[in-house]
Structure 1
């Protein structure tokens, strides 16, 4: 290990010249690579970047870089210095969901505005929201700007690309009838209690999956929301791991009162977990996650994907029953519209408004930082509520007329 001019130890591969300038050097496949900088911290980062480029065949070979490789460099080398880990998780998830399968293996050098416009237009044709399409564009634009900055490209192919606009999607909310169906078909499923708590609290998916028993106060009948569970790629091992993170905003840290359905669901969950621990031959909870409220059959944390798979199964079960009843009654089969875990949060909020709960209180339940968000998202009423309100008006008119 080398030392600086004052005798202090230096990181491996770095020396300090008599001029005071630091020099980094390493060897790879018979080649020597060096960098100089007067700032030691900057040099350490530059050497880390250079090693990555050399080992991944990027140094002097910009024509061969795929979009997948460049995304990894952009996110884990460039952006990681300026964004929170939770934002890094969101970018990574977004890329894997909307970009990777479509264009991830194409070379960065081959991109042009037509390819990108085709990608965005295909998303519009598939009914993705304008916001989602805009987010995809923003990520690609930032990646290509960084490629231009590093002289991988001479121009940004996102320049001049227009983001197509789509119709604003209506927020998916379960009707009262649909909510009853979901709860009925969730019975006896391993995640029945998770769905019951989701519909009874309006908690976000990551908040529910990160809930631990020390957050549950049965005596006070309260739930403390103070963390979220994410499934994120580890920067060192490049493998996906579970981690706790602080909630979305400081307003997300909150206490939610337990209504009876939630209280009973959590009591059932407590008993069921004890039974599962005794009967499961492969009960192996992950270290640091032993106290989770909602887990899989093996005691390990569950992902939001698993949550969605459970809802998909319930959706199929409901449609099977609806189809059976339609054939029996010789009526038209109408399937339940598809829904995601976030629809359960929307449904809780809508039931709150239908019950006449003040918007400010609902804001507190949901953990929104602004009342405007609560009102913008949830002031619509369902068809069931609209009809009942119109019936009230109709009865009044009968008295007048």
Structure 2
């Protein structure tokens, strides 16, 4: 493969065959504006190398925003949950479209995206939020590379901001006891109790059905989760296989659930056909699902009224896991109970517990060995 060089005015140009189109017609690529013939030869050689390695991409004016919109609507939307899709679209509309959407897809560089991340940090966005944006951008550019719209996925050269492992919000055993006592007669007591005693997620609790509660065997099965999509409440299956799990419950929880079911049955009889029975354990007065924001507001009210340490609803799940680890429970068992994809997530999330566990482990190991107090006979055996 050779280039044909010619001089036009004071600059050099070259022309090269780049194959044939789908009709069999010869296609050529022409580039000019080089000060010397040597510059034109170097550019031509680089282009030939790209063509021979199948790395050459025909220049396009397609913008990153145009491709991202098409990619999300016609590909991503078909492969992920609607709630996840809506969450990603929100991030895209708020930040990615305004910041990068106008740029030509082929002209995006690592420096441009890295500067975009830095600006978002200065605007006050968290590192974890920026990593969400990075995941969307990386997936988009990876696909653009696979579809041969760009020659390289520049996101692989980026370093998104590191997320600091701040301690998670947790309550002490005393604070838990006080909270449960204060909320015993409140509407959402059953939800609080389930979060504290089982470590279930809020959506899992609000989506829990009586048919998934085996009170005789002392087990709860996670089979659906409540989400809010475009302002509407909807039930979906758990995201992962690990999330779809069974949780053992104690006699205390069984007792709380039985008492709650009895009160709910009385309400059903009282309302008759006015009760919308979705078989939900946690429901509104008329049986409809509870809005996820309502339970947040109730928790915030209780904390403010009784001057309790601030904590979010998800912090009750963190409290459950933290106490289990502090009590010496196997992290693998805790991970399975929480529905984490792998035990590493559990260990990373609750790293604040590990120092105490390490101390306990060291003391237990020393007590088991007892080298100094051991008596050895002449054959080297322990007496």
TM category (shorter chain) comes to 0.5 to 0.7
Residue number in structure 1 paired with 2:292: 304
**Matched residues, number:** 295
Residue number in structure 2 paired with 1:31: none
Trace 1:21-60 onto structure 2 (pairs within 5 A): none
| 1:291 lines up with 2:287 in the alignment | no
| 1:132 lines up with 2:125 in the alignment | no
Is contact 1:201–1:256 with CA below 8 Å preserved after alignment?
yes
Residue number in structure 1 paired with 2:336: 364
Is contact 2:77–2:85 with CA below 8 Å preserved after alignment?
no
Q: Structure 1 length normalisation: TM-score?
A: 0.58
Q: Deviations over 1:221-271 (max 9, x none)?
A: 2212233233335xxxxx7451331x2332333322221331122123212
Paired with 2:225 and 2:274, the residues of 1 have a C-alpha distance of 23
- Once superposed, what is the RMSD of the aligned Cα atoms? 4.4
Is contact 1:252–1:368 with CA below 8 Å preserved after alignment?
yes
Residue number in structure 2 paired with 1:174: 171
SS in 1 for 2:205: helix
Q: 1:310 to 1:167 in 2, by over 3 A?
A: same
Is contact 1:117–1:161 with CA below 8 Å preserved after alignment?
no
Residue number in structure 2 paired with 1:276: 267
| 1:350 lines up with 2:322 in the alignment | yes
Residue number in structure 2 paired with 1:116: 116
Residue number in structure 1 paired with 2:347: 375
Paired with 2:301 and 2:173, the residues of 1 have a C-alpha distance of 20
Is contact 2:233–2:291 with CA below 8 Å preserved after alignment?
no
Deviation at 1:138, TM superposition (A): 2.5
Q: 1:106 to 1:382 in 2, by over 3 A?
A: closer
Residue number in structure 2 paired with 1:332: none
Trace 1:252-267 onto structure 2 (pairs within 5 A): 252-267=243-258
Residue number in structure 2 paired with 1:23: none
Q: 1:197 to 1:170 in 2, by over 3 A?
A: same
Which of 217, 234, 242 in structure 2 is aligned with 1:251?
A: 242
Deviation at 1:342, TM superposition (A): 2.4
Is contact 1:231–1:241 with CA below 8 Å preserved after alignment?
yes
Residue number in structure 1 paired with 2:190: 193
Is contact 2:220–2:249 with CA below 8 Å preserved after alignment?
yes
Deviation at 1:201, TM superposition (A): 0.7
Which of 84, 106, 127 in structure 1 is aligned with 2:80?
A: 84
Q: 1:138 to 1:250 in 2, by over 3 A?
A: closer
Is contact 2:218–2:251 with CA below 8 Å preserved after alignment?
no
Is contact 1:353–1:379 with CA below 8 Å preserved after alignment?
no
Is contact 1:116–1:161 with CA below 8 Å preserved after alignment?
no
Residue number in structure 2 paired with 1:210: 207
Residue number in structure 2 paired with 1:223: 220
Paired with 1:187 and 1:200, the residues of 2 have a C-alpha distance of 14
> Structure 1 unaligned runs (5+)?
1-61, 234-238, 323-335, 394-401
Deviation at 1:196, TM superposition (A): 0.3
Q: Which shifted more, 103-112 or 359-368?
A: 103-112
Q: 1:113 to 1:352 in 2, by over 3 A?
A: closer
Deviation at 1:198, TM superposition (A): 1.0
Deviation at 1:110, TM superposition (A): 7.3
SS in 2 for 1:230: strand
Q: Which has the larger radius of gyration?
A: 2
